Structure 1
Amino acid sequence: MGVNSFTYSNDGLALTKQFEGCELTAYQDQVGVWTIGYGHTGAGVASGLTITQDQADALLLSDIAAAVTFVNQVVSVPLQQNHFDALVDFAFNLGRASLSGSTLLRLLNAGNFDGAAGQFPLWDHAGGKVVAGLLRRRQAEQTMFQGQPAQGNSSNA
């Protein structure tokens, strides 16, 4: 059970916004999922949908809130803010199920922070193919997790 009660920092939110980019008209992502705003998917997102910037911001905060709650629940070791932010971006981008069943989480909950950090770059595939933008995002998360300023190029990954 979780031992943390963090909120997402401005640094974490900046990382998510940088890699997601913002599209106010629905588009299909690299694996064909209809997406809008900052990576928002789900019921109601379909061809032709448009939203305002305010709606995109609200969707992002709602989607992030779910990832924040999840990370606080599934991590059983005390974290620092940089660890938490990297994990929230990971869960936001890949989905909570990916984090919950991952070696990354297993190693982290065993107290092996270095081993957990080494897992981030392994999550660079979409549709069975390596995606350069995903690798850059995982490297930025890894850097943030390790307590260094995250760097990376926006890639809509």
Structure 2
Amino acid sequence: MTDRKVGPKALALMHHFEDCELVAYADPGTGGDPYTIGWGMTYYPDGRKVKRGDQITRAQADADFATILDRDFARIVDAAIGNAPTTSAQFGAMVALAYNIGVGPRMWLPGMKKGFRQSWVLKMHIAGRHAEAAGAFGSWITAGGKVKAGLVRRRNAEAALYAGDRAALARFTNGALA
């Protein structure tokens, strides 16, 4: 495992697509289960599941997100990538994807059959086929069995970050990131 870190562009991308909600809400993409809070979190750093009625502060949301992102996503993505040459932007984009789709079976989304560790994004990245890896982000655009416009934009933004395409990144984030 290396010591890769999620950079500010990737964090800004995740914050762009994950509004910070201080009161738990039912995730519309999964039919209400699991509940979500903060920056798209379905559980707390201590492992407790988010439940209806939970409330947190913005400071807690930021701290919990940082802990979960590093411990449960960045480290796992880093280990999965291994020694494959990886830019900071590529790493950040893959962590952003993993945060949204999960890292693998039995992650936090009910019924999920696979996640980042089984993804074509990872397979193509490790093989050094970066254009194909960027294209594979588009495989993850459905929720509840339906293509979601927000997921299409999110995957396009992640792929643009991965590819280092600043113009596309700006386009898919409505100018918020460039």
TM-score, normalization by structure 2: 0.81
* Alpha-carbon distance, 1:62 to partner: 1.3
Q: Is the 8 A contact 1:63 1:92 kept in 2?
A: no
Q: Distance in 1 between matches of 2:173 and 2:20?
A: 14
* Alpha-carbon distance, 1:64 to partner: 1.0
Structure 1 equivalent of residue 64 of structure 2: 59
TM-score, normalization by structure 1: 0.91
* Alpha-carbon distance, 1:153 to partner: 4.1
Verify: 1:105 aligned to 2:106, yes or no: no
Verify: 1:146 aligned to 2:163, yes or no: yes
Structure 1 equivalent of residue 17 of structure 2: 19
Verify: 1:49 aligned to 2:47, yes or no: no
- 1:85 aligned counterpart, secondary structure: helix
- Cα displacement string for residues 12-61 of structure 1 (whole angstroms, at most 9, x for unaligned residues): 11111110011000001121220000001033411111100011001110
Structure 2 equivalent of residue 91 of structure 1: 98
- Cα displacement string for residues 55-112 of structure 1 (whole angstroms, at most 9, x for unaligned residues): 1001110121021101110013110111011001001111111110111211111111
Q: Report the more deviating stretch, 47-56 or 145-154.
A: 145-154
- Cα displacement string for residues 128-150 of structure 1 (whole angstroms, at most 9, x for unaligned residues): 11111111100000000001222
- Equivalent positions of 1:73-92 (< 5 A) are 73-76=79-82, 77-92=84-99
Verify: 1:71 aligned to 2:77, yes or no: yes
Which segments of 5 or more consecutive residues in structure 2 lack a partner in the other structure?
105-114
Q: Provide the aligned C-alpha RMSD in A.
A: 1.4
Amino acid at match of 1:61: A
Q: Is the 8 A contact 1:124 1:134 kept in 2?
A: yes
| Identity of matched residues, % | 37
- 1:119 aligned counterpart, secondary structure: helix
Which of structure 1's runs of 4+ aligned residues deviate more than 4 A?
none
